[in-house]
């Protein structure tokens, strides 16, 4: 995986805030911005994966949350089964 240069033009006040946030973490502004972008990308991909899973299983409308403890299937083995 290679690297590519990205050039940004940002407001001076924003740059000052970025410098402050980066300094609090002992990072360069470049590292701070890259880490923030990576985290945002992960959050977005994770949310998409959760949404797709809920759509696949049909639980997006809260069906799973409505289930109660008495809804366990008959073939379900309880963790305490066989323990005296």
Threshold 0.75, pTM exceeds:
no
Domain count, the chain: 1
Structure tokens at 72: 């366990």
**Bigger pLDDT: 80 vs 5:** 5
- How far apart CA 9 and CA 12 sit, in angstroms, is 9
Residue 18 lies in a domain: no
Q: Which of 48, 50, 52, 10 is nearest to 32 (CA)?
A: 10
Residue 1 lies in a domain: no
Residue 51 lies in a domain: yes
DSSP per residue over 11-56, as a string? Answer: -HHHHHHHHHHHHHTT--HHHHHHHHHHHHHHHHHHHHHHHHHHHH
Residue 16 lies in a domain: no
Range of the structural domain that residue 35 is part of:
30-60
Residue 70 lies in a domain: no
When pLDDT is cut at 50, 70 and 90, the band that residue 73 belongs to is low
Residue 55 lies in a domain: yes
When pLDDT is cut at 50, 70 and 90, the band that residue 84 belongs to is very low
Residue 66 lies in a domain: no
How do residues 36-69 score in pLDDT, each as one tens digit? 989 888 888 999 999 999 888 876 455 555 554 5
């Amino acid at each position: 995986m290679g690297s590519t240069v990205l050039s940004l033009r940002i407001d001076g006040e924003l740059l000052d805030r970025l410098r402050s946030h980066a300094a609090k973490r002992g990072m360069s502004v470049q590292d701070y911005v890259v880490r923030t972008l990576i985290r945002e990308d992960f959050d977005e991909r994770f949310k998409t994966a959760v949404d797709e899973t809920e759509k696949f299983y049909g639980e997006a409308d809260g069906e799973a949350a409505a289930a109660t403890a008495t809804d366990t299937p008959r073939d379900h083995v309880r963790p305490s089964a066989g323990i005296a």
